[in-house]
Amino acid sequence: MKKLIAMALIGLTLNSFAQTINWNSSPLNYQNSELNYNNSPLNYQNSPLNYQNSSLNYNSSNGVYDNSGNRIGYEVQSPQGVTNIFDNNGNRIGYSPSQRSK
């Protein structure tokens, strides 16, 4: 009986682990990688020097804010659909993978 319960727990653990690991959201997927030029701060579209991303652009709609309302960065969507999140200095601090399935 103990073996059966242990096997069931291992099966549930592996199943939930497999569901959380998804290639589309993995940082190892080149589509999500910072090494991909579309996600790089070296790409002018993602640069803080681009006025669309500037904290000085008060009409910008891509700002990222903390709970106190302070701007901590900006987000830019790449052509593949990945939303990249950068701090105000242009350092990539995160991403949200594309919701498109292939």
Q: pLDDT tens digits for the chain (102 residues)?
A: 555 555 555 665 555 445 556 888 888 899 889 899 999 999 999 999 999 999 899 898 999 999 999 999 999 999 988 999 999 999 999 999 876 544
CA distance 8 to 4: 6
β-bridge mates for residue 75, sequence order = 85
CA distance 2 to 68: 51
β-bridge mates for residue 63, sequence order = 74
The pTM (predicted TM-score) of the whole model is 0.72
CA distance 43 to 49: 10
